[in-house]
Structure 1
Amino acid sequence: MGKSLKIILSILAALILLLIVIISALFIFIDPNDFKPEIQAAVKDRIGRELTLEGDLNLSIFPWLGISTGKMTLSNAEGFQTKPFAEIQESDINVKLLPLLSKEIEVDRIVLKGLTVNLAKNKQGVNNWHDLIGTKPEPSPAPGSVTQEARPTEKAQTLLSIGGITLENAFIDWDNQKSGKHLEIKDVNLGTDKIVFDEPFAVDLALTIVNAQAKLTESIKLTADLTVNEKLDNFQLTGVNLQSTTAGEKVPGKSLKSALTAANVLLNMAKQDLKISTLRVESGDLKIAADITGTRIKDQPSFQGPVAVEQFNPVLVMKQLEITPPVMRDANALTRLAMNFNLQATDDAANLQDLLIKLDDTTINGSASVDNFSQPAIAFNLTADALDADRYLTPEKEADKNSKPIASPAVTTAAAASLLPVETLRKLNANGELTLHEMKINNLNMQDIHLKLSAKNGIVTTQQSVNQFYQGNYSGNMNMDVRNKLPVLAVNEKISHVQVEPLLKDYKGEAKMSGVVNMSAQLQAQGNNKDEIKSSLNGQLNFLFKDSVILGFNLQKIIDNSKALIKGAPLPADSKNDQTLFSEMTGTATINNGVLSNNDLVAYSSKLRVNGKGSANLNTDALNYKIKATLLKSPDADGQQAEKMTVAVNFGGTLSKPSYTVDPSSLLTEENKAKIEEKKQKLLDKLDKKLGPGTSDLLKRIF
C-alpha cells in the first residue's frame, strides 16, 4: 500500500513539473504582443469600436496568471467627437492559477491608472454608449427543427474573489448637447478591500465634480461596506458616510458642507426595490432624518417613508446661506421650525401626508402635494391652532399706529397678491384650504378662520371667512385676473354684527366710536401696485351702525358753543367725555376712480336727526363732507314740542385727521328767523301807511 502511494505521488509530481515546464516554455517562447492585431480585430468584430494597444502587454504565469498593459484607447461611437470614448494609461490584473482547477477564480487587486471616459449625448438624445450595452437577439429556430424544452440548470459552482480594485486619478467628461449641460468629474480615486460575492467589503471613493457653467465645484467622499451578489443585481450598503463640499462664487460663504449617512441601503435591481434605513442629512443647522422605501425604481419610480426635519433656527440657516433675514417685529420670530411627514413621491410629484409643522408657537397639521415639477400644481389642506402674524410683519412706526387705515381681510389679501410678480401669479397653479383656530394680524383678533385658494391659468380666487370676529362674523372673496398686461381685481365682502369699539382699540390702540356695524362692499380695480389700484378703485358699499357712540365729538355741544359765540356769551368748559349718541346710522356710497361719494347718510337719536353727504378721496386722503343736524328741543312746561332747529357742519382735513366747522349762516337763520319775520312785517306795515295800501303786497310779489 505504501509503495503504491509513493508511485501515485511520484506520477502527480511529475505531471505538475511537466505542466510548469510547459507553461514556462509558453511564457518564454510566446510574446503576447504578437497577438495585438487579433485582439484588436476581435474587439472590432464584437462591438464595432477600434481598440488601440499602444503599450506592451506583459504576462505572468505562476502562481498568478496575469497581464499588465500600457496605454489602451477605445474609439468613440460613430457620429460623436473624434476624441476616444475611453483611455487607460496603465492596468494590471492577475488571476491565481491553481484555484482555477477547482472552479475558483481568485483575482489579485485590479489596478487602473489614468482612466479617462468621455460620455456624451447628442442633440437628438442619443448617447455614445448605447451600442456597448445593446444585446443581440437570439437566433430563431430553423423551420421544422425540434426545440428541446429548457431544463433548469444547476447552480453555478464557480466562486469569484477579487483582491480589491484600485482606480487612480480617473477622469469622466459628461457632455449633454441636448440639455446644454457639461460636467467634469475628475480626481476619481477608488479603493476596495477583497471582493467576494455575498460578503461585505469596504469601499472608499473620492471625486470632484466641476460645473463650469454654474461656476460650482463639488468634492465628494464616500465610505461604506458593500455586499454584491453573483448576478450583480442585489446590492447592500452598510455604514454609509457621504461627505460633500460645494464651492463657488454663488455659494453662501463661498463653501457649503453637507453630510449624508445611512445605516443600511438595500437595492434589488431584479425586483426594482430600494430600502434606505436611518437616513440622515445634515448641512449646517439643518438636520433631516428619514426611512425610505422605493419600488419600480427603473420603470415608474415611487418612494415612500417617514421624514423628520429636526428643530432648527430658520434665521440662522438663512444667515449661513448668506440670505438676509427679514426684519420682523419680534426678534424671536422665525427661530424655531420642525417638521414631520410621510413622503409619497415619484420622479415628477411629491405628496406629504400626516404633515406636522411647528413654527415658533404655532402647530400646523394637514397635507400638501406638488404634481408635475416642471409646471407645479400645488394642493394643500392645513389646520393651525394659533398664529400671531404680527410677529412676522415689519416693525410698525409709532407715528403710523393711529393713522393706519383699516383694511379688510379681502383687501389685505389683494394687496399681498399685488406685491407678487405678475409672471409668478400667471404661472401659479394651486388649490387648497387653510383653517386657523385663532389668528392675530394688525392687532386684530379672529377665531375660526377659513381660507380657500384657487389659482390656475392666470385667475387667482380666494374665499375667506371669520366665524368669530368681535362678536360678529366676516365673509369675503377676492378675484384677480392677471391674464392681461394689467391685473384686474374684484373684491366682495360682508361683516355682520361686529362690535366697533373693541375692534378699534385692538387695531389703533384707542376707540373713538362704539356700536354694532353691518357692512357690505363690492369693489373693482386694476393695476400693478398699490397706487394704481387706489386710483382705479370703483364699486359700492352700504353700512348700518346701531347703538353707536362717537367719542370726543358732541354735536349738540358744538351747536351750543357756536350759538354762544355768536351771541358773545361765555363758552361752556370743554369735557374729555364729549360724545354723540345715535340709535341708528345708515348710508350707501359709490367709489369712482378712488373717490368715495356718499349722498344719503342718515342718523337718528332721541335729540338729533342727521342727514349728510360728501366725498373722501382715497388717493389723497382728503375729506369733504357736510351734515345737517336737526336738534330737537325738549318739550316745554306745557308739554308742547319746541320748534326744530337745523344746523350745518362742514368736515374737512383728511380721513386720518378730520376737522370740522359749523356753518354760521345756518345758525343765524334758525336762531333769528322769527325776529327777522317780525321786523320785516313791521317794515311793510310802515310802507303801507306812508305809500298807501297795497304797497306791501306789491313788494312781496316782487321779492
Structure 2
Amino acid sequence: MRILFKLIILVVIIVIAGLIALPFIVDPNDYKQEISDQVEKATGRILTLDGDIGLSVFPWIALEMGPLSLSNAKGFKAEHFAKVEAAEIRIKLMPLLQKQLEMDTVILDGLVLNLEKNKDGKTNWDDLAGSDTTEQPSKEAEVEIESSDTSSTPALAAISIAGVKLTNANILWTDASTSENYSLENLNLSTDPLVPGEPTAVEIDFDINSLKPQAKAHITLNTKVMVDIENQQYALTGLEFTTQAEGKELPFSKADISLNGDINADMVKQLVSIDGMLLTMIAEKDQQKIDAKLTANISSNIANQQTTLKAVNLTAEINDPALPGGKAELNLTADISADMQQQTLTLSALVLELQDLLINGDINASKLLSDNPNF
C-alpha cells in the first residue's frame, strides 16, 4: 500500500513538473501563422497577431496576447472589425480537476470594435453570426443532442472570477442606411469578484458621441450588481448614475443628470422596484434653465401593468425670460398609482404649488387610452 501511495505521489510530481516545463518546451509564438490560417479558414477573416503570445500552465493556465486584430468583412469601410492592445486570462489548474472554475481578473486593454451596417441593411458581423438559412436540426435530433450534452459534459461545481478589467475601449457604430454615427469612447469598466447570485461592485465610465443628432455626453455608473439567473433575481444596489450631455440639437444645449437608488427585479413574479430613487437635473438652453429634483419609491407589476409611486416629491426652479418675473418655482407631492389594463390613474394626497397657485386633493382618471378620458 505504501509503495502504491509513493507511486501515485511520484506520478503527480512528474505531471506537475511536466506542466511547469511545458511553456519552456513549446513556444506558442511558433504557431501564430497556423492560428491565423485556422481563423481565416473558419471565418474568412484575417487574424493578425502582432505581439508575443505568453503561455503558462501551472499553477495557472494563463494566456497573454496583444496587440492583435481581426479584419473587417468585405464591402465595409473600417480596416479592422476588432483590435485589442492587450488581453490576459488566467485559470487555476488544480480546481479544474474538482470541476471548479477559478479565474483571475480578466484583462482587456485598448479594444476597438467597429460595428457597421451598409445601405442594404447587412452588418459586418452577419457572416460571423451565421446564416439564417442554415438547416435546423429536427426536434428528435435536438432532444438527442441535449441529452448527450448533459450526460457527457459534467457541470461545474463552482464558478469564481476575480473580476473584469476593461480599459481604453472604443466601440464605433455606423449605419449607412440611416446616416447614423455613434461612438462610445474611453470606456473603462472594472468589477470586484464575480460569483453567481452574489453582489459585486461595478464601476463604468465612458464618453458617447453622435453626429446625427450632434451630441456628446460623459457617463459614469457605480453600483453593486447581483445577477441570479437560476432564480431570475436581479439587483442594482447603491446605484449612482451621472451624465453630462451637450448638443445643439437636443431639447437643452447642456444637461447634467444624476440617478440614485436601489433597483430590484424578480422576473419570476414580474415585479420591479426602485427604492429611494433620487433623480436630479440641471438643464440649460440660451436664457432658459431648469433645476429639478424628484424623489419617490416605485414598484411595478409588469404582468398586470400596474405601477405605484409612493412619497413622490418634485421640486423645480425654472428660469425663462418669457415667464412673469423671469422665473417660476414648482413643488409637488403625491402618491400615484396607474393600472394600464383598467386604464386608470390615481393621484392621492396631491399638493401642487406653482407660484401663487395652490392645488390639493385627489385626482382620479379613467379611460386613459381612449379619445375621451374621464377625470
User: What's the TM-score once normalised by structure 1's chain length?
Assistant: 0.44
Q: Deviations over 1:137-170 (max 9, x none)?
A: 5545999xx9799589478244221111100011
8 Å CA contact retained: 1:280, 1:290: no
Match of 2:331 in 1: 336
C-alpha distance in 2 between matches for 1:163 and 1:212: 38
User: Where does 1:3-14 land on structure 2 (aligned, <5 Å)?
Assistant: 4-5=1-2, 7-14=3-10
User: Where does 1:624-663 land on structure 2 (aligned, <5 Å)?
Assistant: none
Partner of 1:341, secondary structure, is: strand
C-alpha distance in 1 between matches for 2:72 and 2:339: 41
Pair 1:64-2:48 in alignment: no
8 Å CA contact retained: 1:216, 1:247: yes
Match of 2:285 in 1: none
Change (3 A) 1:100 1:313: closer
Match of 2:307 in 1: 305
Partner of 1:156, secondary structure, is: coil
Partner of 2:16, secondary structure, is: helix
C-alpha distance in 2 between matches for 1:74 and 1:205: 26
User: Where does 1:653-692 land on structure 2 (aligned, <5 Å)?
Assistant: none
Match of 2:365 in 1: 367
Partner of 1:195, secondary structure, is: coil
Change (3 A) 1:337 1:142: closer
Change (3 A) 1:240 1:149: closer
Partner of 2:324, secondary structure, is: coil
User: What's the TM-score once normalised by structure 2's chain length?
Assistant: 0.78
8 Å CA contact retained: 2:179, 2:212: no
Give the letter for the 1:281 counterpart: L
Give the letter for the 2:85 counterpart: Q
Match of 1:172 in 2: 171
8 Å CA contact retained: 2:338, 2:346: no
C-alpha distance in 1 between matches for 2:315 and 2:146: 67
Give the letter for the 2:202 counterpart: V
Match of 1:327 in 2: 324
State the Cα distance separating 1:266 from its structure 2 match. Answer: 2.4
Match of 1:291 in 2: 298
C-alpha distance in 2 between matches for 1:273 and 1:127: 34
Change (3 A) 1:368 1:245: farther
C-alpha distance in 2 between matches for 1:139 and 1:204: 42
Match of 1:51 in 2: 47
Match of 2:345 in 1: 353
Give the letter for the 1:285 counterpart: A
Partner of 2:72, secondary structure, is: coil
Match of 2:160 in 1: 161
Match of 1:27 in 2: 23
Q: Which has the higher contact order (CA 8 A, sep 6+)?
A: 2
Pair 1:380-2:367 in alignment: no
Give the letter for the 1:354 counterpart: T
Pair 1:276-2:289 in alignment: no
C-alpha distance in 2 between matches for 1:28 and 1:92: 19
Match of 1:618 in 2: none
User: Where does 1:406-555 land on structure 2 (aligned, <5 Å)?
Assistant: none
Q: Deviations over 1:647-672 (max 9, x none)?
A: xxxxxxxxxxxxxxxxxxxxxxxxxx
State the Cα distance separating 1:280 from its structure 2 match. Answer: 3.7
8 Å CA contact retained: 1:239, 1:261: yes
Match of 2:125 in 1: 129
Partner of 1:161, secondary structure, is: strand
State the Cα distance separating 1:110 from its structure 2 match. Answer: 0.7
Partner of 1:80, secondary structure, is: coil
8 Å CA contact retained: 1:292, 1:303: no
Q: Deviations over 1:76-114 (max 9, x none)?
A: 344432432221111111111111111111111111000
Change (3 A) 1:50 1:140: farther
Q: Deviations over 1:191-246 (max 9, x none)?
A: 01111222221111111112244443222111122223467976433222212222
Partner of 2:9, secondary structure, is: helix
RMSD of aligned C-alpha atoms? 4.0
C-alpha distance in 2 between matches for 1:236 and 1:338: 27
Instruction: Select the structure of larger CA radius of gyration.
Output: 1
Give the letter for the 1:307 counterpart: L
Normalized per residue, the structure richer in strand is 2
Partner of 1:128, secondary structure, is: coil
Match of 2:99 in 1: 103
State the Cα distance separating 1:358 from its structure 2 match. Answer: 4.1
C-alpha distance in 1 between matches for 2:190 and 2:323: 48
8 Å CA contact retained: 2:297, 2:309: yes
8 Å CA contact retained: 2:296, 2:313: no
8 Å CA contact retained: 1:32, 1:58: yes
Q: Deviations over 1:240-292 (max 9, x none)?
A: 22122223457799643222223233265xx6956233144222432042424
8 Å CA contact retained: 1:262, 1:276: no
Match of 1:16 in 2: 12
C-alpha distance in 1 between matches for 2:269 and 2:6: 56
The partner residue of 1:74 within 63, 70, 74 is 70
Give the letter for the 1:121 counterpart: K
8 Å CA contact retained: 2:297, 2:312: no
Give the letter for the 1:336 counterpart: N
C-alpha distance in 2 between matches for 1:325 and 1:369: 35
Change (3 A) 1:161 1:240: same
Partner of 2:178, secondary structure, is: coil
Give the letter for the 1:76 counterpart: N
C-alpha distance in 2 between matches for 1:83 and 1:368: 57
Partner of 2:97, secondary structure, is: helix
The partner residue of 2:113 within 104, 110, 117 is 117
The partner residue of 1:39 within 35, 42, 51 is 35
Change (3 A) 1:159 1:352: same
Change (3 A) 1:292 1:207: farther
8 Å CA contact retained: 1:49, 1:74: yes
Match of 2:210 in 1: 211
C-alpha distance in 2 between matches for 1:82 and 1:332: 50
Q: Deviations over 1:610-633 (max 9, x none)?
A: xxxxxxxxxxxxxxxxxxxxxxxx
8 Å CA contact retained: 2:207, 2:216: yes
C-alpha distance in 2 between matches for 1:148 and 1:249: 56
Change (3 A) 1:258 1:38: same
Q: Deviations over 1:625-645 (max 9, x none)?
A: xxxxxxxxxxxxxxxxxxxxx
Change (3 A) 1:147 1:229: closer
| Percent identity between the two aligned chains | 27
8 Å CA contact retained: 1:286, 1:310: no
C-alpha distance in 2 between matches for 1:224 and 1:31: 42
8 Å CA contact retained: 1:352, 1:369: yes
C-alpha distance in 2 between matches for 1:128 and 1:343: 43
The alignment of Structure 1 onto Structure 2 pairs a total of residues equal to: 354
Match of 2:201 in 1: 202
State the Cα distance separating 1:39 from its structure 2 match. Answer: 2.8
Partner of 2:48, secondary structure, is: strand
Partner of 2:321, secondary structure, is: coil
Q: Deviations over 1:40-70 (max 9, x none)?
A: 3443454444322222211022211111001
Of stretches 197-206 and 246-255 in structure 1, the one that deviates more from structure 2 is: 246-255
State the Cα distance separating 1:13 from its structure 2 match. Answer: 2.8
Give the letter for the 1:282 counterpart: T
C-alpha distance in 2 between matches for 1:156 and 1:73: 33
Change (3 A) 1:77 1:281: farther
